Structure 1
Amino acid sequence: MTSVPRSTTVAVVVSHAIQHFAPLYRALTEHEVDLRVLFLSRSGLERYFDADFGLDVQWKSDVVTGYHHEFIADLPLRPGWRQPDVTRQMVTRTWAALDRLRPACVLVYGYRYAHSLAALAWCRRRGVPALMISDSELLGQRTPAVRAVKRLTLPHLMRSVSAFLTIGDNNEAYLANYGVPATRMFRTPYPTDETALRAVLAHRDKHRTAIRAELGIAPDALVALFAGKMISRKRPLDIADALRILTRTPRGPVDREIIVIMAGDGVLRATLDAVAAELGGALRMVGFADQERLPRLYAASDLYLHPAERDPHPLAVKEAVLCGLPVVVSDRVGSTGPTDDVRPGRNGRVHPVGDVDALARILGELRARPDVLARMAQESEKVIGDIELAASVDGFLRAVAHVRDTARRG
């Protein structure tokens, strides 16, 4: 694995503590990277109300442990971030912290917010290399006006970034579209809490049996899982409609019973509860699943479903693959590609967004073909080495080494 000198200070400027990045920060610190994470807000550390889930959410307390960090401000998250006085504080606090640290390079998360642009401006003024990571892709629909503005502004902005930590094939296609050469891209898959997943997978059969017994699901049933916010953008109702089609279709002699577990909450929950009652057991609503319960649901499942109309790179899809599950997604989910989490024709199937009949056909085939499902699961196992935390650490270190070498030559 690539290494960088301990004297290389890398500053990370980020809005707030994001749980799934904490494992990467800790792993980099263990690799003796002098990482300094600068947070603009304490939001998320305490219990807060998530409007999409429609309930209070509490992250694990260790989200800020195991790595150097500081809160350079305690600003409110959206919508307050659009206010002029908040924007000014973002800029001044970011510049002051970077002037004090004098890092060898700076990582920012995208370009949407003032603190990211302020960090890029600081890097440009001080001649310090800038790194960027984002989940941008070209799959989402954009108005002609938005596309025109991006075409005019983004190539210039991208040239100010020394290296990009890319998360997948669609993300790299987006960057290439705006002029970023492959030599400045370093694959750094989104990290997640793999420790919790591996702890469950070490006793997979036990958790599979326990969850199925708890939910009254037969051991030989084909169980598909959806986990996420029950909002229109995620299109969980497409899964319910596909189940309706399957329940109206007579089962063949080898067709397994198919049951979908839905974990999550949101504005569509009441509608989905009504559909679940109508389907008589084919749809099981289990509510919000925390970091302890969700890995057990992956262990109990045979397949993961994600029919969203736009989702740049959902963590639930990655976690499903890390658990060795085949995945079925819509063509608007950005996790697809020959070297990404979901590899069509191998560990995944892709259907046109909103095409419930196509989704039902895929599910119908998989419940009748356990051999196909087993091969897809084997392919997911092969993908794990490309997307696990070690790959994220390696991509980060290669990007830092690249900008250091480039700075020395320049």
Structure 2
Amino acid sequence: MMTQPRIAIVVSHPIQHFCPQYASLAAISDWQVKVFFASSMGKKAYHDKDFGHSLAWSSLSLDAFEHQFLSEEALPSSKNLDAPKLDHALMAYDPDVVVIYGYWQKVQRRALAWAVGAGKRIYYISDSELAHGAGGPKSWLKTLLLRRRLAPVSRFLTVGTWNEDFYRRVGAPVSKMTRMNFPIDIAAFDHALADSKELREKTRRELGFKPDDFVIATVGKLVPRKRQADLIRAVLIAKPEARLRALVIGSGPDEPALQTLVNGDERVRMCGFISPEALPALYLASDAYAHLSSYEPHSLAISEAIYCGLPVVLSDRCGSYGPSDDVEPGANGFVFPVGDVESLAGMLSRLAQSPSLRQRFAKRSLAYALDAQHQAHGEFLRIALTADGLWNT
């Protein structure tokens, strides 16, 4: 019988949707997991310039998995983030596998170098993709550099179709890829879904929506690349019989301009910043989800929306769609050319006026999301370790 493989996960700081995944992994007896945080940001309050106020997450589940803070300071999660104590901490833990998140930060490059020097397997996670367009000499040079940088990686834990296409472009063989998917806080969502009908009706009443309103949610910081104005404009130009309503969830520097665009129109609700704990109720109050970004590698909000059974309409610059991704065009959503407000309005109106289409899309969203989160909360690691000869049944 094989001994339990030891998994070291090196991450910048406690991240609200990853910590529940670590808790799920720690609850499985087939392996040992320890998470090494370079910063206490998130556990301790920090100022987010885009949201415009201080944040500290209350649902990190830190007591549910073994972890070590390599700094007690709330250091910013920048490219210069480093943890000189990491080498000693990894040596003491002596893992079989080191999981790293990209190569952008110094701490991740330190983890990569330590694992190479110690002869450990490296599992690599990123949201890199090609959905927002790539090409030219700069892109070609980056590809060559990435081929060299990623050569020591044992396995790529992928998050979607575009992500896998990116890895193939930089020379990673399919045999070294295992689909992980990005995790969400399934415990929080399952709690809300247990009383979904009652919670939906209560939330819609509080927001002032009528039973026959077709509510489209969008979640994210109010910054230019998120393009929430496109959804607002689509709702305002749609035919009245579609009864489109927008639920704009988030805060940020674009808020005054968006409020001016809305100009008090009752068809749009601006919610401001909403805590993760309160988000499930707003998804459940909605009939569809829209993501409008000009650049979005792989959206957490889309993963959350489909877990609530929502159809999705997203721009072609979002990396969450494909034949085996959160959104499969024509199966649980539509893709529109970024910035094309008329196309967006037409797709949303079509959903609003076709209950059978909505039901079919909703069923597909939920089925895919359940499988994706099963993978993300443990099955991916079992598959990866088995493929690498580190675990068997």
- State the TM-score, normalizing by the size of structure 1: 0.90
> Among 47, 57, 66, which residue is 1:49 paired with?
47
Counterparts of 2:15 and 2:374, CA distance in 1: 16
Maintained 8 Å contact 1:28/1:35: yes
Counterparts of 2:78 and 2:303, CA distance in 1: 31
Structure ranking higher in helix proportion = 1
Aligned to 1:265: 251
Q: For residues 230-268 of structure 1, what are the alpha-carbon distances to aligned partners after superposition, in whole Å with 9 as ceiling and x for unaligned?
A: 11111101111212221xx4x4xxx34111111111111
Counterparts of 2:204 and 2:263, CA distance in 1: 19
Give the AA of the match of 1:44.
G
Counterparts of 2:160 and 2:298, CA distance in 1: 8
Counterparts of 2:16 and 2:279, CA distance in 1: 15
1:81 offset after TM fit, Å? 4.9
1:72 offset after TM fit, Å? 1.9
Maintained 8 Å contact 1:133/1:164: yes
Give the AA of the match of 2:35.
V
Q: For residues 26-64 of structure 1, what are the alpha-carbon distances to aligned partners after superposition, in whole Å with 9 as ceiling and x for unaligned?
A: 111111221011111111112222111112222015442
1:129-168 aligned at under 5 Å gives the runs 129-142=121-134, 144-168=136-160
3-state SS of 1:388 partner: helix
Maintained 8 Å contact 1:385/1:391: no
1:292 offset after TM fit, Å? 2.4
1:9-408 aligned at under 5 Å gives the runs 9-32=6-29, 33-60=31-58, 62-74=60-72, 77-78=75-76, 81-82=79-80, 87=82, 90=83, 92-142=84-134, 144-246=136-238, 249=239, 251=240, 255-278=241-264, 280-405=265-390
- State the TM-score, normalizing by the size of structure 2: 0.94
Give the AA of the match of 2:273.
F
1:6 offset after TM fit, Å? 5.3
Counterparts of 1:60 and 1:397, CA distance in 2: 29
Greater Cα shift, 181-190 or 141-150: 141-150
Maintained 8 Å contact 1:28/1:393: yes
Closer/same/farther in 2, CA of residues 61 and 383 from structure 1, 3 Å limit: closer
Counterparts of 1:182 and 1:139, CA distance in 2: 19
1:139 offset after TM fit, Å? 1.7
Counterparts of 1:61 and 1:225, CA distance in 2: 23
Maintained 8 Å contact 1:13/1:116: yes
Closer/same/farther in 2, CA of residues 328 and 229 from structure 1, 3 Å limit: same
3-state SS of 2:271 partner: strand
- State how many pairs are aligned: 391
Give the AA of the match of 1:352.
P
Closer/same/farther in 2, CA of residues 333 and 68 from structure 1, 3 Å limit: same
3-state SS of 2:263 partner: helix
Structure 1 unaligned blocks of 5 or more: none
1:125 offset after TM fit, Å? 1.5
RMSD (Å) for aligned C-alpha atoms: 2.0
Percent identical residues: 36
Structure 2 unaligned blocks of 5 or more: none
Maintained 8 Å contact 2:222/2:254: yes
